[in-house]
Amino acid sequence: MQGFVNKDALATTITSRKATFFSRSGATLWTKGETSNNFINIYDMFVDCDRDSIIYLGKPDVPTCHTGLETCYFTSIGDLLKEQEVEETNLALTTLYSLESTISKRELELAGKHGKPSWTKRLLLDENLLCAKIRAEADELCRPLEEKEDSSCTASEMANVIYHAMVLLRRKDVKIENVLEVLRRRFSQSGIEEKQSRASTES
């Protein structure tokens, strides 16, 4: 485990042979095990070359960590990074699935209070309007790159493209999972192989 010490904490550890630390939040000394009687019995101590860090070597009465494990250092940084990647992927998928669900609900809803359907409903009812919006939004997506605009503009324009494209998917009764499956298959193919595969399918 890791803790902070001051001179008094170190002196207490030396005399009592029990791991003692200094609580910065409580501004007081505390000995590991003083309430639970699960002490760390110190048999040696070492200071580092800069003399600003100390290692207590000791034998704990029970596992040191409050989780019940022998050490507080049981989480791999590599594992944390992998978990973060999984969480980010799940968040992205959840967002797409939620948008898909919302679009489906708009398709079923009645006209609004003033007799006007929602924008999503209008797009679903008018394929010419929908296709025109997709083309326009795709053009808007290219502008931040062509005109050297801020990256935030790119994210905003891409969101517009994704939304309108997913309305088209709903209009064609295609699930976002079908699109993701196509992308997953393409991960294992080169661009040339992918084009050949599409050509053979179309022929």
Write the pLDDT tens digit of every residue in 13-70: 999 999 999 998 889 999 998 888 889 999 999 999 998 899 999 999 888 887 777 8
d(CA 13, CA 187): 58
Place of tokens 């580092």: 48
Write the pLDDT tens digit of every residue in 89-100: 777 888 899 999
CATH (one of 3.10.560.10, 1.10.357.10, 2.60.40.10, 1.10.287.1080) for 95-197: 1.10.287.1080
41 three-state secondary structure: strand
For 7-61, CATH gives: 3.10.20.810
CB 43 within 8 A of CB 54: no
CB 32 within 8 A of CB 12: no
Q: State the pTM of this model.
A: 0.53
In the chain, domain spans: 7-61, 95-197
Task: Say which range, 15-29, 94-108, 118-132, 182-196, has the weakest mean pLDDT.
Answer: 182-196
Q: How many CB atoms lie within 10 A of CB 81?
A: 10
